[in-house]
Amino acid sequence: MTPQRLRRQAQAVCPEPLSMPHRNGSFVIPDSHFSIWVIGQSFTAFDIQSAALSLGFEREAQLLWQDKRYSDSPTNLGAMVCLSMASGMGGREDFMLQLIEDIRAMAARMNLFGTRVSDETLKTFHELPPDKFRASAAAAWGAYGWLTFYSTHYAADPIAYPPSLPIPGDTNRRSGGLVWPPHPVPNYLGQSMTNLYKLWPMIQDFGHVYDFTNPVPLSERVTLSFAESTYQKLLVWATALDLRMKRNEDSLSHVYFFHALYHATIVRLFQPFLYSSAHTRLKSFNSRDCTPASIYMASMRQLKRLLIWYLTKAGRHSDNGWFTVAVLQIMSATLWNTNDPDWKIYFQLCFNFWKEAYIRYRIYLKIARANLYFALQLGVIERDTAVALVNELRAVGAHHVDPESAINSAIADHRMAAKHLTDSRVDTMAKEFADLTLSQHTGDVERNTADGASSKESEVAPSHNWLKTVLN
């Protein structure tokens, strides 16, 4: 794999569902080391040699960032978004957090989002040449979308003001009392991006109320009426979706991500009420069955169905990382409810999703460990089973450089985060797993020294045969 070939493959394998602007205002990947680093990680599933190349692009991208971080432009903002994503997936979380600060600061300086925009500033945007206007709008909504997606996994400060520029691809060209130039999006994106841009502000609004850094428990500060009104907004948004957003066997993977984000949002919205108000009827609905529990379960069923479809039918390229928004919710629900006769199926499906993602992104070793520790704490699996699963994970990621140094403080379980934020983080739980399964390391393989031969129950199915095994 040469750097030239990696560049040629960029468009085909880009994992980013939040398109960035090019200098001509169209939605393509910026031709820079920033995006190549992302692509290098992703392309590892197709050519293992790209893992080493991505490290070189990482170093060069960081040098470019130092030079461009204060040069405000739509292209530089988009490039920093790509670099931030790559840093997170590569386990460089400290760098990712610095970039997130820079993205917010640059967007505020450019009046793209995060600050109240005056009519005079809006008029200045309106007078821009069409290509510069489109580039600014694409950068604004793309960066805003990435920061919002980040907030679904981390305890993040909310963004008070969404972009004031029109949404790319939206047929409604009126905004702020002005009529804006047309802003079409490429056919390969379909309607996914335009509809996602409309969803992000709703996620920001309820994320602010559900802030896990607030010491007051969620159950004491979030009312069911707030969840109900937010749910009504989500339904209105979903009802207005184009029929092309309907999922089918020919859907591209970003459509699966789109549906997964929607249902994961609903799951998060009603999760705090599963124990205090699970069967309280929502007053704005006629159906007596419209309760927090029934809505939660309906969306969870959809997430499980999406996971199976995603793993067996979707034409995936390299966007595993984004579908984590569904997998974490499914694993949490599975571990908390092992009375479900199908829990082992979904446990294995989630693990194999992480195993596939770990080929590309070294951070998934920590994510899998955190969830295995959670499973051990709940008594769902045995110690030798957990160690065997980690061994299997290591086997597919032997090409990664120092995966143990990867950092990830994302929330592994939202139910736990509502009570103890620090204890719910991936890094905390992954460390506890390492302490709990004190092991002898032989090369790159983690061996359990306390137990003898693994029992039949703890044997892990070969990767190529995993789906047949769990569905038998």
**Pick from 416, 426, 427: nearest CA to 218:** 416
Show the beta-strand stretches assigned E in 155-272.
174-175, 178-179
pLDDT of residue 297: 96
* CB 327 within 8 Å of CB 353: yes
Nearest to 398 by CA among 55, 51, 92, 57: 51
Q: Residue 296: which of 328, 326, 258, 266 has the closest Cα?
A: 266
Tell whether the model's pLDDT for residue 46 goes beyond 50: yes
Tokens of 283: 């007053």
Helix axes 130-151, 192-209, angle to 10 degrees: 50
What letter does residue 27 receive in the DSSP assignment?
B
Q: Is it the case that residue 455 has pLDDT exceeding 50?
A: no
Spatial distance between the Cα atoms of 54 and 222, rounded to a whole number of angstroms: 43
Please name which of 154, 228, 241, 253 lies closest in space to residue 198, comparing C-alpha atoms: 241
Q: What letter would DSSP give residue 10?
A: H
For 307-448, strand residue ranges (E) read 440-442, 445-447
- Which of 31-45, 267-281, 306-320, 356-370 shows the lowest mean pLDDT across its residues? 31-45
pLDDT reported for residue 55: 66
Mapped onto helix, strand or coil, the DSSP state of residue 6 is helix
Among the listed residues 146, 273, 156, the one whose alpha carbon sits nearest the alpha carbon of residue 213: 156
Radius of gyration in angstroms for the set of CA atoms belonging to the chain, rounded to a whole number: 22
d(CA 131, CA 344): 52
> 111-133: buried (b, 16+ CB within 10 Å) or exposed (e) per residue?
bbbbbebeeeebeebbeeeeebb
Q: Is 429 exposed, middle or buried (0-12, 13-18, 19+ CB in 10 A)?
A: buried
- How do residues 328-341 score in pLDDT, each as one tens digit? 999 999 999 999 99
- Model pTM? 0.84
Residues 453-457, mean pLDDT to the nearest whole number: 36
Confidence (pLDDT) at 352 = 92
The confidence band for 51, taking pLDDT boundaries of 50, 70 and 90, is: low
Question: For residue 25, is pLDDT > 50?
Answer: no
First to last CA, the chain: 39
Neighbours of 439 (CB within 10 A): 17
Sign of the C-alpha dihedral computed for residues 370, 465, 263 and 240 taken in this order = positive
